[in-house]
Copies of this chain bind each other. A is one copy, B any other.
Amino acid sequence: MSTLPVLLTAALIAGQPRAGVDAFNQALADATRRMDDSAIVALWEPDGVSLLPSTRPIVGRAAIAAFVTSVTSGLKGARMTRYDQGCHDVEIAGDTATEWCVEHQVVALADGSTFDGWGKLLLVLHRGADGRWRLRREMWNQAAAADSSALR
């Protein structure tokens, strides 16, 4: 796209909070599916907090970037063959949005084995001065079982 349509799209999204959250969710799914470190980190606010199991709270975009890099560098040669995500009960209050999601990922590992996992996310988003929604807080835990209906 040239610059003008991009700016128009951004302006449109800024004026429609729910559309902006949907755009965030799509960007999160795309970045995760591609295992694209810099695209994932760009979805975070500078003072975001990530709360992962058996891990100390990861506070701030720099610490989150270091963590993401450490995870993907431990997965050299891996490729995500599938990532699906369904987010529910989006609620928006001013520049704050919350939602919970169910995700399913399938990763082909370098040794030929496959990781197939299901998880849940609780997300708090914040809308920046540019109208874009970014992650402010995230927590993840394991899902109970495969549940394709929750991915819609």
**Distance, CA A89 to CA B137, complexed state (A):** 10
Within the complex, which residue of B53, B98, B150 is in contact with A141, where a contact is CB–CB below 8 Å? B53
CB distance from A119 to the nearest CB of B (A): 10
Q: Residue on B with the closest CB to A95?
A: B93
Number of copies: 2
The distance in angstroms between the C-alpha atoms of A98 and B45, with both chains bound, is 15
Instruction: Closest B residue to A98 by CB, please name it.
Output: B124
A51 to B100, CA, bound (A): 9
| CB pair B95 A144 closer than 8 Å | no
Is A143 close to B, CB under 8 A?
yes
The answer to whether B120 touches A57 (Cβ under 8 A) is yes
Contact partner, A139, options B49, B136, B139, B145, Cβ 8 Å: B139
Residue A91 lies at the interface, judged by CB distance under 8 Å to chain B:
yes
Question: Total interface residues on A, using CB and 8 Å?
Answer: 33
Taken residue by residue from 73 to 100, chain A's Cβ proximity to chain B (1 for < 8 Å, 0 otherwise) reads as 0000000000000001101011110101
CB of B57 within 8 A of CB of A100, answer: yes
Besides A54-B142, A57-B88, A141-B141, 4 other CB < 8 A contacts? Answer: A56-B145, A96-B96, A98-B98, A122-B122
Q: Report 6 cross-chain contacts, Cβ distance below 8 Å, ordered by A residue.
A: A49-B100, A54-B142, A55-B144, A89-B137, A93-B93, A122-B139
